[in-house]
Structure 1
Amino acid sequence: MSEGQARAVRTVEDARRIVEQRGLSHVKVGMFDIDGVLLGKYMSRKKFFSALESGFAFCDVVLGWDSKDELYDNVRFTGWHTGYPDAALRIVPESCREVPFEGDMLLFLAEFDGPAGELCPRGLLERVLARAEGLGYEAFGSLEYEFFLFQETPESIREKGFRHLKPLTPDMMGYSMLRSSVHGELYHDLLALAESMDFPIEGLHTETGPGVLEAAIGVDTALAAGDKGALFKTFTKVWAQRRGLMATFMAKWSPDYPGQSGHIHLSLRERDSGRSAFFDADQPHCMSDVQRHFVAGQQRLMPEFLAMFAPTINSYTRLIPGFWAPTEATWGIENRTCALRVIPGSDVSQRVEYRLGSADANPYLALAAAIGAGLYGIEQRLEPDEPVTGNAYEQQHPAHQALPRTLWDAAQRLRASRPARELFGDAFVEHFAATREWEEREFRKHITDWELDRYFEII
């Protein structure tokens, strides 16, 4: 295997060969945690070769703490009660990527194995995709992310207390050729990084808001789409900080601007024939029976699975009318005011866009929930409600389409969901619901500026 062929790696032997050819003493190995944060380390060549054959161990505290390294006190899998032992992981050889700013360095992803595998986000998506294969389908997906760029550093934002931050550019200038041309070198750098690390961007433009961009990652099989989305978020932040900037994917950083979405485009293809399972030229909007049942499952289970698409306290500040974020489990044909947008097309383009999710969601969990719900609809032959025409925000919708309004309520709906337990397993549902309850409890410990302004003097 020659230089520059990291993405040709498929087997354990391929992985050994490329490391040997490059003369690397160490490689990077990382895994994504429950919040979609990439964790890992440099691993020596000797240790890496051993891990390729028989796996390796990593402290399971990474499944027992939150995004600020605070230890959960309400999960069963790990904690002080277990002593935080090691958990088993396996290297994913085909995940090999160049790390273009570290010379010949390579990055390999790993995923949890054994009991920890029941909680592993990447493993969860694999289990859902195995279900799709059992039904005769292969799932394809692509992710779109909005993110804000700031002329700030990790030090400056803390010195400022996360206030009065300076965006990369001022004003509301969506799809601006002016902005993208003035900062052309910056755009080119990001596009080049995405190509070299195999999360290629098929569309990149400014969105409405100061310093906000939207990137559409190219379509791929759903597991590869999860890898690409998770790596895109991580290395976009790395790319920005290496240039004296900062990128944020939090759902909403300011009440003055729209939130940041993480839209998911999905389709199914028949494994035997290779044809689209969603496209039927003889049906209205070319929408096959399979796609109709798939959309019905997504619509029916959206309130129960919301925590997997909106996993933070901040997520729920985005889900308000008039800010391009859905507020009920609605669907429509080419309707961007709905939570589910069916996009009519051809055998290669007929799909559904899951518009509910925010940019802060773990890509693996969001894909697993969106695909899993659709498969449930196919299995149960569910029928969707009537599609929405016109502005979904201004219409009355059935009570069963209402979404939970807080993270705590969303966690309760997930915990009580029989379809969630059937699709994702009891261990994952219990663990993930507990982590979201922890997140809400942590928030309740704090006094907001709004509360001080509203109550300090007058009450």
Structure 2
Amino acid sequence: MEPREVQTVQDARLIVEERGLSHVKIGLFDNDGVMRGKYMSREKFFSSLDNGFSFCDVVLGWDMQDQLYDNVSYTGWHTAFPDAPVRILPASCRDIPFEDGMLLFLAEFAGTAEAVCPRGVLRRVIDRAADMGFAAFAALEYEFFLFDETPDSVRQKNFTNLKPMTPGWFGYSMLRNSTHAGLYHEMIDLANAMDFPLEGIHTETGPGVIEAAITVDGALNAADKGALFKTFLKVFAQRHDIMATFMAKWSNDYPGQSGHIHLSLRHSKDHTSAFYDNQKQHNMSDIQLQFVAGQQKLMPQLLCMLAPTVNSYSRLIPGFWAPTDATWGIDNRTTALRVIPGSEKSQRVEHRVGAADANPYLALAAALGAGLYGIAKGWQPEPCTSGNAYAQKHAEHLALPKTLWEAAQTLKTSAAARELFGDSFVAHFAATREWEEREFRKHITDWELQRYFEII
């Protein structure tokens, strides 16, 4: 049996038995999209397939550096960090090609933890789409930089003066991808082996930067694939004695790294596109107009789900391929929402605000949920933006929050967010972003020292 054939609990047992594995690998994703997990014995795995297992809920109560939040109610010292129930997802079975037949299974939180579980949040939005008669499809694109560095060397250098894998500005370079063809082929092979196949991969503008587009799939599968791609691309790089970063902006000298989201809806009853109408301008159906309107109107309120770190807001500046207002346009890469006219199969919208550092589950939940909200409300979008959106003045209510703290406050007070994602999630995630901003404020930057130390 092949991993892609696994669908049921019985299938999961069978493939483990066929491979004679003593252990399998189990993983799930935390608030920041960081994969947490462990090796689990065969006997424990078989039992957990039927009954679930327990995972310390601290992984929802600490940040990406394992520091405990001091401002959340879901878990903490006040609850003594109990175990939370977790369910294994048999159909998520994947090979780990460099671990000699080892299998990976994804899991997600259940019980009360499900309310704040990132995968659970997205699944509830997808259920909303189904209740409205739609199936959601998505494709995620990620930009990342590769460096001739190791985890030890970047710390020895204090994360400064790092050496990119290749020098210069070589966007879409056949020179670079031919010179390093072996590395590209191995990335493509890894993506195929682990079932997050790439539709395309190429160099982007900047030293050592690559963009990879993951093949379209149903929205939940697309998020799984995005989260696994980010995790195992970093593993792949370190196994090759290089490093990958998905930071939104690692240097002010180069454009930031995006995590663009392509979205479309199809009618569940007949699988036809809900976005395509060849009788309308740009083939945009009334449903797609309403979807774009929802994304546009709620973008400022949901921004911290798409731009979740302090660093995310260094990317959202004019002229660097990242939007600063909730604008939309037709095939316009200067707007926040790029409607891509096409055929019945390809008509879609690209959400261009999301950064590469976003949690794929939460970024997709925000982009999809906002669109569905617009359909439910029958909203119409603001006038379409033509030309360079950066050079134009836009309505004040289309302005995006400028800091993570501001974005967290906007999420916290959003009635739409609470309706879409639930009070528990909104309160928990907004608090985690407030924590992230406060952690940043505890530190003195190089810029402050250089600016103030002597002269002030």
Deviations 1:400-423 (A, max 9, x none): 100000000000000000000000
CA distance in 1, matches of 2:224, 2:77: 31
Deviations 1:135-156 (A, max 9, x none): 0000000000000000000000
Q: How does 1:235-384 map to 2 (within 5 A)?
A: 235-384=232-381
**In the alignment, what sits opposite 1:163?**
160
CA distance in 2, matches of 1:122, 1:93: 15
Where 1:383 maps in the other structure, the secondary structure is coil
**In the alignment, what sits opposite 1:187?**
184
**In the alignment, what sits opposite 1:38?**
35
**In the alignment, what sits opposite 2:75?**
78
CA distance in 2, matches of 1:291, 1:15: 39
**In the alignment, what sits opposite 1:201?**
198
**In the alignment, what sits opposite 1:111?**
108
Q: Which runs of 5+ in 2 are unaligned?
A: none
CA distance in 1, matches of 2:453, 2:275: 56
**In the alignment, what sits opposite 1:8?**
5
How far residue 230 of structure 1 moved from its aligned partner, in angstroms, is: 0.2
How far residue 65 of structure 1 moved from its aligned partner, in angstroms, is: 0.3
**In the alignment, which of 48, 60, 63 is matched to residue 60 of structure 2?**
63
Q: Supply the AA of the counterpart residue of 1:172.
A: W
1:135 and 2:123 are equivalent in the alignment: no
**In the alignment, what sits opposite 1:96?**
93
Deviations 1:154-193 (A, max 9, x none): 0000000001101000000000000000000000000000
Q: Supply the AA of the counterpart residue of 1:327.
A: T
Deviations 1:23-59 (A, max 9, x none): 0000000000010000000000000001000000011
CA distance in 2, matches of 1:95, 1:76: 31
**In the alignment, which of 427, 439, 444 is matched to residue 442 of structure 1?**
439
1:176 and 2:170 are equivalent in the alignment: no
CA distance in 2, matches of 1:96, 1:30: 11
Q: Supply the AA of the counterpart residue of 2:9.
A: V
CA distance in 2, matches of 1:419, 1:51: 36
How far residue 442 of structure 1 moved from its aligned partner, in angstroms, is: 0.3
CA distance in 1, matches of 2:438, 2:396: 28
Paired residues in the alignment total 456
**In the alignment, what sits opposite 2:218?**
221
How far residue 286 of structure 1 moved from its aligned partner, in angstroms, is: 0.1
Deviations 1:396-450 (A, max 9, x none): 0000100000000000000000000000000000000000000000000000000
Where 1:180 maps in the other structure, the secondary structure is helix
Q: Supply the AA of the counterpart residue of 1:192.
A: D
Where 2:276 maps in the other structure, the secondary structure is coil
CA RMSD of aligned residues (A): 0.4
Q: Supply the AA of the counterpart residue of 2:340.
A: I
CA distance in 2, matches of 1:428, 1:166: 39
Deviations 1:34-87 (A, max 9, x none): 100000000000000010000000111101000000000000011111100000
CA distance in 2, matches of 1:320, 1:204: 25
1:452 and 2:449 are equivalent in the alignment: yes
Where 1:262 maps in the other structure, the secondary structure is coil
**In the alignment, which of 418, 421, 425 is matched to residue 418 of structure 2?**
421
With normalisation by structure 1, the TM-score equals: 0.99
CA distance in 2, matches of 1:257, 1:396: 25
Deviations 1:101-157 (A, max 9, x none): 001100000000000000111111110000000000000000000000000000000
CA distance in 2, matches of 1:388, 1:379: 24
CA distance in 1, matches of 2:226, 2:306: 14
How far residue 7 of structure 1 moved from its aligned partner, in angstroms, is: 1.2
CA distance in 1, matches of 2:219, 2:37: 23
Q: Supply the AA of the counterpart residue of 1:206.
A: T
**In the alignment, which of 121, 144, 154 is matched to residue 141 of structure 2?**
144
CA distance in 1, matches of 2:332, 2:263: 16
Q: Supply the AA of the counterpart residue of 2:406.
A: D
Where 1:256 maps in the other structure, the secondary structure is coil
CA distance in 1, matches of 2:26, 2:271: 34
How far residue 393 of structure 1 moved from its aligned partner, in angstroms, is: 0.1
**In the alignment, which of 14, 22, 27 is matched to residue 24 of structure 2?**
27
Q: Supply the AA of the counterpart residue of 2:416.
A: P
CA distance in 2, matches of 1:58, 1:137: 33
Where 1:123 maps in the other structure, the secondary structure is helix
CA distance in 2, matches of 1:126, 1:59: 22
Q: Which runs of 5+ in 1 are unaligned?
A: none
Runs of 4+ with deviation above 4 angstroms: none
Q: Supply the AA of the counterpart residue of 2:123.
A: E
CA distance in 1, matches of 2:270, 2:241: 50
**In the alignment, what sits opposite 1:389?**
386
How far residue 273 of structure 1 moved from its aligned partner, in angstroms, is: 1.1
CA distance in 2, matches of 1:336, 1:75: 38
Where 1:83 maps in the other structure, the secondary structure is coil
Where 2:175 maps in the other structure, the secondary structure is helix
Deviations 1:335-377 (A, max 9, x none): 0000000000011000000000100000000000000000000
Q: Supply the AA of the counterpart residue of 1:42.
A: Y
Where 2:45 maps in the other structure, the secondary structure is helix
Q: Supply the AA of the counterpart residue of 2:19.
A: R
CA distance in 1, matches of 2:108, 2:57: 12
Q: Supply the AA of the counterpart residue of 1:187.
A: Y
CA distance in 2, matches of 1:6, 1:334: 38
